[in-house]
A = this chain, B = another copy of it.
Amino acid sequence: MRILIVNPNTTAAMTEKIGRAGRAVAAPGTEIIAVNPADGPISIEGYYDEAFSVPGLLAEIAKGDAAGVSAHIIACFDDTGLEAARCISQAPVIGIGEAAFHLAAMLGHRFTVVTTLSRSIAAIENNLLKYGLASRCAKVRACEVPVLSLDDPASNAAAQISAEIERSKQEDHAEVVVLGCAGMADLAARLSEYHGLPVIDGVASAVKLAEAFGALGLKTSKTGAYAQPRPKPYLGSFAPFAPR
């Protein structure tokens, strides 16, 4: 089984990190292909960056689909472009945010999300509402470390995230923690051990869900919201993306 993971930002180092996180949990027969678009923002922090990551993301999904991958993963915690990607793919498409939320919901009564910047909280809260899981989330918290600073030792990211987890234990009575950024994938195990509760990374979660859908032969329903786009012209620079 081949799984395409699309990092929707354009920072190759982050794509590699995401690929490693995916491969670390992939089953023996699973091939992980981690890519990112050539065009778009170097990190996604808020609604505006999201908007410009989607066309490139969808191009990668389309290429993966043409190449016959069994499942797609969108490796931005906001699940950027998820619904649009479902419309054009024959294979299932999984967002790392939803993947983490669904698994978290089966491991404890309430979970807390710790994301990067507070400007991203609204998008995550809206996703939780859309997915139905808002009542299972005690709080969405931000550690105020920018995405591309997560790997910068000076950012003290792990300590900031850990402090926020500590607060979520004290104040939210969270039983499970979800890490709210693909760039935090490498921290989950350590933070889980330190805090004594499950700490969930969406990339790894999504890989296992992708394998699950593949093994079960389950694909996105095409009878409603995710129907194949109607053929029509797209004008100008987006003409190549027009559905046929």
Taking beta carbons and an 8 Å cutoff, which residues of A are in contact with B? 10, 25, 27-29, 37-43, 45-52, 54-56, 58, 81, 83-84, 86-88, 92, 94, 98, 102-103, 105-110, 118-119, 121-123, 125-126, 129-136, 146, 169, 173, 175-176, 189, 196-198, 200, 204-205, 208-209, 211-213, 215-227, 229-230, 232-238, 241-243
Q: Which residues of B contact A94 (CB under 8 A)?
A: 106
Q: With the chains together, A233 CA to B204 CA distance in Å?
A: 28
Which of A25, A43, A54, A58: most chain B Cβ within 10 A? A54
Which of A41, A233, A241: most chain B Cβ within 10 A? A41
Would A175 and B103 be within 8 Å (CB), given that A41-B234, A81-B51 are in contact? no
Q: Are B48 and A225 interface neighbours, CB within 8 A? A: no
User: Nearest-CB distance from A129 to chain B (Å)?
Assistant: 6
Neighbour of A208 across the interface among B50, B173, B211, CB < 8 A = B211
Q: Which residues of B contact A242 (CB under 8 A)?
A: 41
Q: Which residues of B contact A225 (CB under 8 A)?
A: 46-47, 108-109, 119, 121-123, 175
Q: With the chains together, A167 CA to B224 CA distance in Å?
A: 16
Q: Are B136 and A132 interface neighbours, CB within 8 A? A: yes
User: Nearest-CB distance from A80 to chain B (Å)?
Assistant: 10
Could you pull out 17 A-B pairs where Cβ atoms are within 8 angstroms?
A: A27-B27, A39-B234, A39-B238, A47-B87, A49-B232, A103-B212, A105-B132, A106-B209, A109-B224, A130-B130, A173-B224, A175-B225, A200-B216, A205-B216, A208-B216, A211-B211, A237-B237
